[in-house]
Amino acid sequence: MSTNTTEAATDLLRDAMLMTLHPVGPAVVAVKTAQTKLRDAEHITEAFLAAGALILAIEALEDVANNAAGVSRAILREQMADAGCYSLGGEAFSLTLADAPRSVQITDPSALPPEMMTTPEPQPDRKAIAAALKNGPVPGAALSNGGAPTLRISPKRTK
């Protein structure tokens, strides 16, 4: 690779990778804001609401970070392949491009020999059992009390 080509590839990689980080900044700010509200809460209901907001902000940050990591990984993989760089060791990690594992693709299921086919084992039909249990006992089944309560945090949709 010539120096100009290397510099152009470096610029392209840097710009593309940094672009993936744009949504991360506001998500971090949202976590810090929610954290401050929780720290400043004076009443238990205020603390509950602030804790819920913090959890939502953390989950949103996780989503944004996972998306940025996935896009960044794809960009890096493509750039390394284009440069012919298949392995590189750093101080804390190494980068390696490896062939994806081979996998079976079924092109015509009807053409497969019978010994290559499996049939699923019978499984309980939970919906049918639940409906029947509402009308009375069903041998081998019972309704649970549902267990411990779960906490659902639903972000409000903005209009």
Domain boundaries, the chain: 3-84
In whole angstroms, give the CA distance from residue 156 to residue 47.
Answer: 18
Q: According to the model, what pLDDT value does residue 82 have?
A: 86
Q: Is the pLDDT of residue 55 over 70?
A: yes
Residue 2: pLDDT band with limits 50, 70, 90: low
Q: According to the model, what pLDDT value does residue 31 have?
A: 96
Residue 104: pLDDT band with limits 50, 70, 90: confident
In whole angstroms, give the CA distance from residue 99 to residue 87.
Answer: 12
For the entire predicted model, the pTM comes to 0.68
Q: Are 61 and 53 in contact (CB under 8 A)?
A: no
Plot region of 121 (φ>0 → left; ψ -120 to 50 → alpha; else → beta) = beta
